[in-house]
Every structure is written in C-alpha cells, then in structure tokens.
Structure 1
C-alpha cells in the first residue's frame, strides 16, 4: 500500500509541474534578458548600484527603456564621467525614470488607456517609477522647511499618490493621429533624427524585447528624469520676474499629518512636512506631475505648457500696462495676477506647429512666433516649457475690458462686465465703444456693491435695497454705456449721430457730447473729455455723470415735445389726440398695450400730414369745401362718438411698431422688412408696417402701399425733438405723411 501511495503521489506531482510549471519558452526576467543580450553591461552595473536588481529579476509588469552600452559611453563622454562616479542616487534616477508601470509593446504604446478603453494613437507619455518625494526649501518653518509637491491641481493633495514623473516618447502612430511632423520633434531635439520611435532625445534601436516581467525597448541615449515645469522655471534667472509672481502671490503651504507621519517613519526625524501648493486661481499647478486626473491615466495623452517671458519682456509690460493704476505690484488683486500668469499657461501641450490653434485657459492661442520669439524650449516631465522674448498680451489686458479691469476706480463696472459681458468685450474680433462708469459716478446715483454679501445695492432717501433689483438696473445702465461698433462707427464723436447700444436702446452724440434717454429727461449735457483706443475698440471718459436709463413713459416723451396750445411743439396735435383717446391710460400716464421693458418705435406725422388724415377720414375733425375741394378746417382731438374714439385709437396704434426700435442708420429693416404694429384688425390679426432703411433715409410703407419718410432731426439744437428722440426703450420719429391701414 505504501509503495502504491508513493507511485501515485509521484505521478500527481509530475502532472502538476507539467501544468503549472514554468513554460520552456518563457523568457527570463528583465535583468536576466539584459545579461543575455550582452550589450547592457553598464546598465546592469547601474541597476546593481540602484538597488533595483531584485525588482527587475522578479515577477512584475514593466516597460523598460534600456540604454545600451554605447548610450552610456556617450553619456560619460558628454558629462566627463565614468561608471565609478555614478552614485546610487544617480543610478536610481536613471533606472526608475526608464522604468514604466505596465508592459507595453509597440502595438499599444501609442494608445491611451482611458477609462472607456484604448484610444488608438493618442498617447505619448507613460508614468515612471521615479518621483522626487520630500525636499527642503523656503516655507513656514524657514528656509529649510520639509516640503512635498502637490499632486493634484486646485491646491489639493492626494495622500498615497507619489507624484511620479512621466517620460515622453514619440511614435509615428501618435504623430499621425495628432497631425504632427518630424519638425515638431526636432524643434525640441535638433540633434536627434525622428525615427518614428524616439524616447526623449534617444532613438529606439531594438523594440519589443520580451521578458517574463515585461517588455524592453533598447535606446541609444541615457535619459535622466526631466524637470517639472516648476523646476525648469527655477533654473534660469532670466525668468525671475515671472517666477516671482508665482512665489510672491500664488504659492501656499499646508501642513499634512499623513505625510509628516510617513516622513518621520522613513527618516527618523521629527520635522513637520508641508504640501507646497499653487493657488486654485491658476489653471494648473506647475509642480503637479499628474495631469488633470479627470481619468486616472490622462497624463498619457496630454500635459501642460508654459510660456515664460524673459525679464526684459515682462518688466516693461508690468510697469506700463498692469501697474498703470496700481503703481506697486503688492497692490494688485490676486485675480489680475492670476490672469497674467494664466495667459502664459496651457492645460494642453502646445506643439510648435500649433501655436495658433491651441487655446490657453483664457481661450486664447499662443501669440508667439515659434522661430523669432522663443529663446529656449524644453520637454519637461509634466509638459513643455518655452522661454519667450514677448509677453502674451491677454485679451483682458488689451481689449476695452482692460480699462475698467486694471483701474480700481472702476471696480463696480468691472464686476458688472464680469457678470454680463466679459466674454463679448474681451473678444478681439468683436468691436465696441465703451463709456466709462466710475465707482464715484455710480455711488452718486445711489449704486454700490456690498463685498460682505456680494450684492449690488441701491440707496435712496436713506433706504438701501440689494439683490436682483439694483443688479437689473445696473445691467441696463451698463448696456447703455456699451455700443457694438463693428466698423468703428463711434471712433469720432464730431458731428451728429445715433447708435444702438448693447441693450437695444439708443444714444446720440453731437460734437463730442453724448446723451441717453435719461440725460434728455434731465436736460443734461455730457461732454467727452478723453478717450483711449484698445485692440477691439475705444473707451470714452465723460466730464460728469453717465448714460443713464430713462424713467418716463413713452406718452410722457411725446408730451415733452408737444409744447402748449400757445407754443406748440412738433408732437402737439398727435399728443392731443392721444390723451383724449381710448388708447391712453390717464392713471398709468401711458399708451395702452405698451409693455414694460418692451421696445417701440413711434412715428408721429407732421401737422400737415395729420391735417390730411382728417381730410381723408382717418382722424376725426372738420373739413370745408374750397373751390370744390375738401379742405381741412380743424382737428377734433376729443371726439364724443365711440366710432371717432376708435378711429383715433386705431390711428395711434398703427403708428407704433411693437417690439422693435429702429433708427435711420441703415441697420434694421433695410429692404422692405415687415414689422408688427400695436394695431390689430377685427379678427385679431396684427397689422404690419414695412420699412426701407438706409443711412439718414428711413421710409415706412403702410397697408395701402403709401410711403412716409422720417424727417431729418433738427440739428440746430441739442438733441432736437423732431426725429431720433430718445425715449424709454423707444425712439420717436416725425414723418412727412400719415400711415393708412386696411381695416
């Protein structure tokens, strides 16, 4: 029985070994494969010094970019070194930076390992086994504070993530997918030919060498860990002004108990460890070796870019542009400094051939000449670094927005622009004219901003309201002071003109004076005292006040130009018919069917035209026969019959465009465009008028194909009360004919 047990036991062991044992064709581990190849003797010695022989001789799953003996000979010659001068620290750097997590043959090395699966041709970096870990530098504990870099953006740190560096490589598959060429590679590595598979400045001379614990790619250069963007920026004093902006304003320190405990255990020291972090106002942290971490491996397919201006470029820009009103850099608000830095930071790789098509966090391309403006360039572990002889002139500092943004005297206007119009007024392709609104002027009108509650306020007679109501009022005022001028229509305010503002209301100018509906109501004259031109328009400064929103009703605007019975104004007869008609609400002081916040155009016939309307039976009045011809005798502005009252109401409603404000500027209703009036027929259908609008020549066609022309404004007086009269979201025009409807 014992013999049988021994026989059967031996058979089972043999079967087990045959099934689970090491296959005969399995390659040995990476270390042993390197030994077999025969041309990695120096690398093997370096591996031994690094302490990584056990790792590379055991089970695992690695990609190893292995420099051959010839690579080390070039490295020794270039750096005046010998193998015996390579210490364990340097050896560990060489080995761990060449050692990539997970095994990748060339069939997948160019693919991005996304959470949703492989993305072919999208990867050019891999995470290595190398990381910087703890270091000492300036911090809360003095010049030798123990620090560790943040490993996430937005001033955060994730314990357990060592902030491993990435190594870049460049394959034909990736270049084809990214639409890059060899020149993009040679821009950074001019001494190396692009082979279709390069690792940093090295060439892969043998690929896909299989081992039990991974894959080896033989390269002809020794590659040491690349610096991060933070480390690179610190290596050259010609960028010290730029670097100081980070150091002085954008860096903070946070003690971390977990990291401190780990450090104390590893070193036996009792120092407190601080995470060095960059402000969350920045688009990324230059010391973060990871990418955005929207996906765990997203660093494989992208990185950061930094364009660092030299001191000679940045210093005069700071003094003349950024500090014009703040004088001392210490007085600058953090958001201005952040915008200046973010203008030079990209959360993507800006390839040399794609300066004009790769946008930074401000949505702007790299406005540099890759040949003339770049004085230094380097691929880094977390992105690419460009030293440049020019400043990136960000839109926030070069457009009309800049005038308010960079002057603390316009803080409320800046907040309003940020809330409502920043995207538009900072676009270099959208042209604007801006009338400046200082804090002092807005305060004088009762408006302010409560920084504690972050609310706009309005104070009147000692009572303050805040929130949506003053914010809406300020938005309307802001829109009145910003005019889209795609063709530079307001580059000169000499002469006379009218312009539609951003909110759809109109302003007028006359010999370097300007007016809005409110200034007309108050009888004010605002004089332009200065101006400045920016990349997308012009800003004007007024002697006092601002272009405020009108408060009167449209009926009151008509009344303002009606005069009296003894001193009749141009709108007198129309107004008399209006206030005595069913179209008018005496309680509201407004025309019925006028909606608050709506836009309107009112056409008011001349007295001669209204007389003709009486003769033709479109207004109540009396006529006489002279020489056999019906002739006007008098207006009946307060008729007694229902029929005559309805006649007046229809007349008035048909002379008001509903929902549109049109000026004779050739912009709206150019070639026979129908617009609705306030008049509806007996079936409830809205009746239209048709406009033909050319500059200084606005014609209106009625239902019976008759034409009326807007009369020219009387430019002998300031803001004449004939045509182009600025009402409350309305324009009032006098026309040389009355308008007939089919009813």
Structure 2
C-alpha cells in the first residue's frame, strides 16, 4: 500500500511538472505579444489627455465595448475639445446625460479600423478604390422616432433605409460621419474653400472630421485605431432632419409630407419596440414615393454596395417659403386654379391637391440631386433630369449644412426646372392641354423641355383635338378617334396625332417665328412645312381644307415661344401629291400655273392612273416638285425634252403646241423622264436657307439604266433657292413679289411635299 501511494505521488508530481512545461510553451507561442497595444479604452487612459472623453464613454455604457475585442475607428475628442464644447454650450461634464454621452461616443465610433493609408479609400466589394471616400458609417442611429404618421402625436416610426419606398428590417439606418482628407480633396478637385463653405469657423488642416481637425492620427490599439480631434462632434442631421429644423422651409417640407410620404405598419419593428419599452404602440416605417429621386431620411445612399455611402451622398436645395409660395401660385397653379383670388398661401396645399402627382414630384425632384453637390462644382452637377443647380453660391444660399447623408442648402429662389420654364410647360401645367401633354411625353418632351433647343409651338387644346374626333381613353390608356360615330382606338389615331403634333412644333434656333407679322415658311419637327403671313398660319392640312388660322395670343418661355390659334389647328393633309398638283392646275379653259406640267404628268409613265398618284412615291416620305412655267415648258419642247409641235429649225425653231399624250413609246418615255427629273426624292426643301445651302446634291425620282438616281444640286439662301441640273444650268424659283417667301406659285404646301414653280426647266443627262 505504501509502495502504491509512493508511486502515485511520483506520478502526480510528473504530471504537474510536465503540465507546467506545456503551459509555459503554449503561452510562449499563443499568448498576448508583448508589443501588442491595449484596447482603445486603455490606450485613451494611458495617453492622459482624454479624461473627459473617458468619463463620457463611461456614461454612454460603451466602456466594455471599447475595452474588448473589436475592429473600430474612433475619432476621439481630447480634453481641450471638451472644454471648447462646454464653453460654447454653457454646460459641463456633470450635465451630460447618458443619452447625450451615447450620441457623442457612437457618432465618433466607426465600424472597421481605418488608418490614414486607407482613410480616403472607398471600401468596395472588389477592393480598395483609392482617394474616393469622405465618409464612414458610425455606430450611431436615431432608431425609433415619435410624433408622426397615422397615430399623430403618439406615433412611433422609423425612417426608410433604402431608396425609395423600400426598407429592410434589421438595418438601423446608421448615420455617416464626414471627414476631409487631403488625398481625397485633391483627387476630387476640391479645396479648403469647399470645406470652409460649411465650416467657416474651422481651419482646413488636410485631415478634418466635420468641424474638427485631427491633431494626432493613427494611434493604434488592440481593437482598432484612434484619431485624436480638437472638437466634440455631435451627430449631424440628415437632409430631412435639417429641412424640418427650420420653419422657413415649412412649405417645402409640407409638400413632401402631404403628397410624397406614406406610413406602413411593420410587425417586426412593432414587436421590437413593444419588447424594449413594454408599450403596445404600432410602429410604422416612413416611406417616400418611388417617383422621388431619393428618400431624404435614408442614411444609406443608394446601397448598390454595402459601403457606397462612403463615397457619395445626396444634396437637397430647400427653397424658403418666401420664394416657394409665389412660385407655386403663379407658375405651377396658374391654370389648375385659374381664379387668382383663390391662390393664397392659406390655400396652397389644398390647391396643390388638384395637381397630378407627377407635377408635384417634378417640383421636388428639381431640388433633389442624387450626388454630393460641392460648392465649387455647381456647374458640373446634375439632378435626376440632368439639370444643374441654378443657384449662385454667394447670393442665393441662405443656409448650408453638411449632413450625415448629404448636403443641405437653404435657397432664396426656386430651381427653374426645365419642365416648368420651357415651351413644354405651357401644355404640361394646364389641364386643358392634357392630350397634347401625353403626346409631348411620348414624342417630344426631351426636345421641347431642353433649354438649349429653341422651338416655336402652336398649342393644341383638348377642345380643338376633340372637335376633330380625337381623344384619350384613360381606361384603356389609348388614343382614339371618332368619325361619323365610329371610334378607332390605338395605333392609327396615335400615329395621326403624332404627325399633327410634329407639324405644330417648329425648330427655331434663331427665333425665326418670334414675329409672325411678316411672312415666311418653316420646316416643322416632322419635316413638313408651315407658312405664315401677317399673323395667319397655314399647314398642308389647312390649305387642303381651305381654312384660315389666326394668331390670337402668344407666350414666351426660356427656349422659345408658343402661339394660340383660332379657326382650327395646323392639321395634317390627306391628299396625294398628284392631287396637290391638280389643285393648282385649273382646267383647259381656265388654266392654272401648274396646268401644263399636270396634264403631261397624268398621261405619262410616271403616273398611276388607278391609284391617282405618281409612281415610286413612298407613303410617309417627303418630296419637292419643281414645276416649270408654261414658257419654260414651251422651251423644253423646242429643245426636245418634251414632245410637242414646233416650227422652223435650229435657232429659228419656235413652239407651236404641246403634245400632252404622245402615242410613241419614245415620246412617252421623254415625258416620264421630264416629270421624274423635276421631283426630289425623300426631301422637302424651301427657300429658307436651311437645307441645301451651298451646293448640296439631292436625288430625283429619275434613274438611269443602271438604276442609279439622277441628281440636282441646290443653293439655298433665305428667299432665294436655285437648282443646278446635270448639264450645269442654274434655274431659280419664279421671282417673288416684294422679296417675300410667297411667290404666287411657289412654296405650295402639299401632303409631305412642297411645290415650287421655276423659271426654267431642268435638263438631265442619262
């Protein structure tokens, strides 16, 4: 027994000895390295100048977090920073409660450790993107908020954390803290002026955190890195919170709240709130309409990547009530509430309720920029519609704030949105032009709402279009036309309306139609022409219908002018080209200026008698017909380019008569070639100096044996159009009266065709 106990004792001693050796070896290999820094809290203690901040950390309840494992960046205000804070706010450490302490600490605490070698880099999903970041997500979030939504003053809600109309439960909508590091500033083309614009009392140092300067950087700790700052930084407001904090933007905010915000109850947030507070409130998510550029309360930027808020944010320009109220009354509501006595500040929101939602969204979106609009970068920034902020950074900005999710500018004027300041606005802002607005949105919004493109627009009211049988069916979302009690829906009336719209929009880059008291001709957006003379206007359709349209009013916009007409609209034509020529041909006993050309044409191989139209004419294409005078056609007979009877020979040859319907195939071909060579294929050209200015070649309907089109060359100046044929002969239009665009027999408006009478004939060479 003794021997057994002795052996057991020896064995236990060996176990203790070997165990001690193994523990020493483990500690030597895996134990805490002697050069490892202590955690953040202990590092702050050891440096000796963060005593106040340490006390605030204790009050906040974050001592354990900053003393334990983790991976943080802490922007730590030193004791001197707190003395400035106490003096500026007439407070002291004793007066800082746990809520304020938590704000200070958590807003200074950034997820992940960032030394200055990466502080300006964007932490993308694919790796670091150098010198492109100026914000980091902090541990601070507002969480539950109170006093809004369906429950009013007793309401509890959380902000939307995505854009827009979307949220994700579990994302706390953490705020970002901005900083300004020299490498980012240089790469972005920014200077100290951009920083001081928002922080005028601070000095740009090359590494600033909000209004603070970093006075000691890259202080390493076991659980992260510390950057010492010389100011206490409280959580910055979001652009939504900043807008709400000042009553001078109350109307702007109220428009968001009344027309663009909804509250959706959420069972998860409700359960969480009830568990934490022991209350039974329903919790809502505050959601912004999806047709807004962004949700002003969203702290996460667009969230295409988890960290994209590091590199960009939003910008909100909030007009003051003094600027916004008269603008809404006089511009936005002018035609929706035509009684000016009803457009009062007290009725503003009530009146706005009659507006289509898209108009309200356009008003707000004009002031919302999906990027950071730095003060020095106004000219290169754009809102969702690509429009720059039209504000002067010196005279138009009444307040500015660098926020947690973007930049806030209070402005003393309203952003002049293109849709409200261009010719597009005249229809868009008037319910009496709803059909025209739909057409513009489909076919010409980009052009007519561009301030860099100039247009003249002849207005098409709903009443005028409905008088012609056109309408829009909101139930089927289709354009319609009713003729003799039969309604057609869909593509056919829509195509007709598109053509009508294009006729009534005229590109006028030099203000060519600003004064219609003279006379002239101009090409519309659709390639068809209109004419004007002494405040009367015509299109091919009105000529065809023998209508006279009078200008009864106008209004100027930033990119052109609109006119109101009486007597109808500039309508489309329906006749065939042959019928347009016939309209000026007259009869054998009362011959018109086009009689000889027309009579030859209808008996030629260029004409399809069954269809009543010229051959090889394509539906929807444009043409120009040059019609020689009778004297010129007589000369063509003498010269052998048309069949007819002549007397004499050589220089003494004279004209006797036309042979309109020759019997020989040779003469028939002669007529066909003559007709075809006088028709430009695929283009309408007027003497307006626009097309074919300095010797431009255009094809005719005539082709050679190889199938190639024969051409003529035009020289076009305002009021003077000449044509050079293939034998280098130059022919002009019949001389106008009083140097106008309106010679009696030229510039005739036909169905996608212009008819001009020329003082000679065109010779071809096959």
- State whether TM-score is above 0.5: yes
Matches within 5 A, 1:178-327: 178-327=188-337
3-state DSSP of counterpart to 2:425: helix
Is 1:113 aligned to 2:113, yes or no? no
Cα deviation, 1:416-460, whole Å, max 9, x if unaligned, reads 111111111111111110000111111111211122222222222
Q: Of 476, 484, 505, which aligns to 1:453?
A: 476
Cα deviation, 1:236-276, whole Å, max 9, x if unaligned, reads 11111111111111111111122212222222222111111
Kindly indicate whether the alpha-carbon contact (under 8 Å) linking 2:625 and 2:755 is maintained by their aligned counterparts in 1: yes
Between Structure 1 and Structure 2, how many residues are aligned?
Answer: 743
**TM-score, normalised by the number of residues in structure 2:** 0.95
Structure-1 residue corresponding to 2:348: none
Partners of 1:11 and 1:354 lie apart in 2 by: 68
Structure-1 residue corresponding to 2:384: 361
3-state DSSP of counterpart to 2:551: strand
Is 1:567 aligned to 2:566, yes or no? no
Q: Of 103, 113, 116, which aligns to 1:103?
A: 113
Cα deviation, 1:321-349, whole Å, max 9, x if unaligned, reads 11111222221211111111111111111
Alpha carbons of structure 1 residues 627 and 329: separation in structure 2 relative to 1, 3 Å: closer
Structure-2 residue corresponding to 1:44: 54
Structure-1 residue corresponding to 2:547: 524
Kindly indicate whether the alpha-carbon contact (under 8 Å) linking 2:521 and 2:741 is maintained by their aligned counterparts in 1: no
Runs of 4+ in 1 over 6 A off after TM superposition: 714-720
Structure-2 residue corresponding to 1:707: 730
Structure-1 residue corresponding to 2:353: 330
Name whichever of 557-566 and 233-242 sits farther off: 233-242
Is 1:477 aligned to 2:477, yes or no? no
Q: Quote how far apart the aligned CAs of 1:715 are.
A: 8.3
Is 1:586 aligned to 2:596, yes or no? no
Matches within 5 A, 1:108-147: 108-147=118-157
Q: Quote how far apart the aligned CAs of 1:541 are.
A: 0.3
Structure-2 residue corresponding to 1:27: 37
Kindly indicate whether the alpha-carbon contact (under 8 Å) linking 2:689 and 2:718 is maintained by their aligned counterparts in 1: yes
Structure-2 residue corresponding to 1:490: 513
3-state DSSP of counterpart to 1:508: strand
Structure-2 residue corresponding to 1:67: 77
Structure-1 residue corresponding to 2:103: 93
Unaligned residue ranges in structure 2 (runs of 5+) = 1-10, 338-350
Structure-1 residue corresponding to 2:345: none
Is 1:463 aligned to 2:486, yes or no? yes
Alpha carbons of structure 1 residues 588 and 4: separation in structure 2 relative to 1, 3 Å: farther
Kindly indicate whether the alpha-carbon contact (under 8 Å) linking 2:687 and 2:741 is maintained by their aligned counterparts in 1: no
3-state DSSP of counterpart to 2:358: helix
Unaligned residue ranges in structure 1 (runs of 5+) = none
Partners of 1:3 and 1:471 lie apart in 2 by: 101
Partners of 1:19 and 1:689 lie apart in 2 by: 95
Kindly indicate whether the alpha-carbon contact (under 8 Å) linking 2:735 and 2:743 is maintained by their aligned counterparts in 1: no
Matches within 5 A, 1:425-464: 425-464=448-487
Partners of 2:295 and 2:651 lie apart in 1 by: 92
Is 1:622 aligned to 2:645, yes or no? yes
Kindly indicate whether the alpha-carbon contact (under 8 Å) linking 1:309 and 1:391 is maintained by their aligned counterparts in 2: yes
Partners of 1:16 and 1:455 lie apart in 2 by: 81
Structure-2 residue corresponding to 1:671: 694
3-state DSSP of counterpart to 1:509: strand
Cα deviation, 1:361-399, whole Å, max 9, x if unaligned, reads 121111111111111111111111111111111111111
Q: Of 675, 687, 706, which aligns to 1:683?
A: 706
Is 1:656 aligned to 2:679, yes or no? yes
3-state DSSP of counterpart to 1:692: strand
Cα deviation, 1:488-534, whole Å, max 9, x if unaligned, reads 00000012100001111100001000010000000000000000011
Kindly indicate whether the alpha-carbon contact (under 8 Å) linking 1:510 and 1:718 is maintained by their aligned counterparts in 2: no
Structure-1 residue corresponding to 2:7: none
Q: Quote how far apart the aligned CAs of 1:5 are.
A: 4.9
Partners of 2:288 and 2:578 lie apart in 1 by: 59
Q: Of 143, 147, 161, which aligns to 1:151?
A: 161
Kindly indicate whether the alpha-carbon contact (under 8 Å) linking 2:520 and 2:742 is maintained by their aligned counterparts in 1: no
Kindly indicate whether the alpha-carbon contact (under 8 Å) linking 2:161 and 2:167 is maintained by their aligned counterparts in 1: yes
Kindly indicate whether the alpha-carbon contact (under 8 Å) linking 1:713 and 1:724 is maintained by their aligned counterparts in 2: no
Matches within 5 A, 1:588-607: 588-607=611-630
Cα deviation, 1:172-194, whole Å, max 9, x if unaligned, reads 11110110010111111111110
**TM-score, normalised by the number of residues in structure 1:** 0.98
Structure-2 residue corresponding to 1:556: 579
Q: Quote how far apart the aligned CAs of 1:719 are.
A: 7.2
Q: Quote how far apart the aligned CAs of 1:16 are.
A: 2.4
Kindly indicate whether the alpha-carbon contact (under 8 Å) linking 2:719 and 2:741 is maintained by their aligned counterparts in 1: no
Q: Quote how far apart the aligned CAs of 1:713 are.
A: 5.0
Partners of 1:232 and 1:301 lie apart in 2 by: 21
Name whichever of 703-712 and 158-167 sits farther off: 703-712
RMSD over aligned CA atoms reads: 1.6
Is 1:634 aligned to 2:692, yes or no? no
Structure-1 residue corresponding to 2:760: 737
Partners of 2:24 and 2:650 lie apart in 1 by: 136
Partners of 1:715 and 1:446 lie apart in 2 by: 41
Partners of 1:717 and 1:382 lie apart in 2 by: 62
